[in-house]
Amino acid sequence: MSSSKEKNREIFNITLDETRSTVKRTTDEAIKEIPRFTKAVNEYQEETIQATKDIADNFLDSQKEVIHSIQSLWVPYIENVQNSYLSYWVSPQRVTENYARAVSNVTDSSIASTRLANNVLFATMDAWKTSMQHTRDNAKEFSRLNSNVAKSFEHVAKDSLRDFSAREEVQGHTRQ
């Protein structure tokens, strides 16, 4: 019977060791993937920033063309109207400056939005890291508690078996 018990314990230990080996292999593979994921996140951020810059540059170039076209057509007309009816605040130069300032604000807002999105991403990654650390600590504590409970059951069972055997012995001597 003890040989069967030892064999079962050995099989159980082998199974747990194989599981531990599988977990190690899986986590080692995941660790090897970290540089690839880090590179992907960096590339995503760089592409987002570059795309924002390209969008702003293209928009500014097109707006420059629009302003030049409008100025070449309308400046003489607006200057005549201004000289006749309008005040200093509606000058072509003032309109151009205000429009350029608005475009600059849109560009700044786009870049700020990208920065905020990146900050949210990093905050989420930090929260995930903290969560994983708590999960690791809690799993370790649950495992320790589980082992302690199993050891307690083992000791109680051994004590009960010893008490039972001792009573059987006493009752066996009494019957004789």
Token pair for residue 100? 């350029």
- What is the pLDDT, as a whole number, of residue 21? 93
Taking residue 53's Cβ as centre, other Cβ atoms within 10 Å add up to 14
For the chain, give the mean pLDDT: 83
Other C-beta atoms within 10 Å of 169: how many? 10
Q: For 95-108, write each residue's pLDDT tens digit.
A: 777 788 888 888 88
For the cut 80, the answer to whether the pLDDT of residue 94 exceeds it is no
Closest listed residue to residue 118, CA positions, set 41, 37, 33: 41
pLDDT band at 85 (very low <50, low <70, confident <90, very high): low
The amino acid sitting at 127 is A
**23 pLDDT more than 80:** yes
Report the predicted TM-score, pTM, of the whole model to 2 decimal places. 0.44
* Unique residue bearing structure tokens 């159980």: 12
- Read off the DSSP letter of residue 91: -
